Amino acid sequence: MISKVSKGFLAGAVVLVLGAGAAYAALAGDDAITARQTCMKASGKAMGTMVPMIKGEKPYDAAAVKAVLDADGAACAKWAEFWPEDSKTSKTLKTRAKEEIWTDPKGFEAAGGTYYKAFTELAATTDEAGFKAKFPALGAACGGCHEKFRAPAP
């Protein structure tokens, strides 16, 4: 018979081991660069769908907005793992990540938090008025990070 206490202990141990495994499997080097570029491309695609609706060039389409934001959210889900120290530069990949990401981690985290909040609020909108009201904050949050933490294009 395994007592309740040891059950709890066992469960804790399993969580610890799984946690360590997850940490071990965290993104590193070029994989991190590729992952964040995939995320940025998804964000770019989402913008490409949403901006014409904001500008009034295309009618608002709630389903299309949800589709691109879901895809963007999925591609960027591991955001916190995108920035290991060994991904500052790469021998084979180009990256515009600036040194400030690692020298100003608090600023970077805050900019990421602002983005996440704006993204969540936009994704929660269901009608055109809400969508148009929440969109600028998301765009500004993109800029807030790009200005400080993204180098000019090569």
Partner 1 sequence: MNPKIFSKRNLRALALLAVSGLLVFWVASAPHPLSQVDIPAHTANLENGKLLYNIGGCISCHASLADAEVPSGGKPLTTPIGILYPPNLTPDPETGLGKWSDVDFVNAMQKGLGPDGTHLIPAFPYTSYVHMKVEDVLDIKAYLDTLPPAKNASKPHEIPFQFIVRRSLGLWKWIGLDEVKFMADPKQTPSWNRGAYLVNGPGHCAECHTPRTIFMSSDVAKLFQGGPHPDGKGKVPSLRDLIGRGRYKDTKDLVLAFQNGEELGYDKMSSGGMGEVRTHIASLAQADIEAIAEYLMSLK
**Least CB distance to partner 1 at residue 51 (A):** 4
Which region among 4-12, 20-28, 67-75, 136-144 touches partner 1 (by CB under 8 A)?
Answer: 136-144
Residue 58 is which amino acid? K
Q: Is 106 a residue that touches partner 1 (CB under 8 A)? A: no
Q: Which of 1, 2, 25, 153 binds partner 1 (CB under 8 A)?
A: 153
68 makes contact with partner 1 (CB under 8 A): no
**150 three-class SS:** strand
Binders of partner 1 among residues 17 to 46 (CB under 8 A) are 44
Return the residue of 10, 15, 26, 51 that touches partner 1, per CB under 8 A. 51
Q: Evaluate whether 81 touches 29 at the Cβ level (below 8 Å).
A: no
Query: Shortest distance, CB of residue 147 to partner 1, whole angstroms?
Result: 4
Report how far residue 5's alpha carbon sits from residue 43's, in angstroms, rounded to the nearest whole number: 47
DSSP 24-58: HTS--HHHHHHHHHHHHHHHHHHHHHHHHHHHTSS
Residue 152 contacts partner 1 per CB under 8 A: yes
Helix (H, G, I), strand (E, B) or coil at 132: helix
For residues 7 and 96, which CB has a smaller minimum distance to partner 1 in the complex?
A: 96
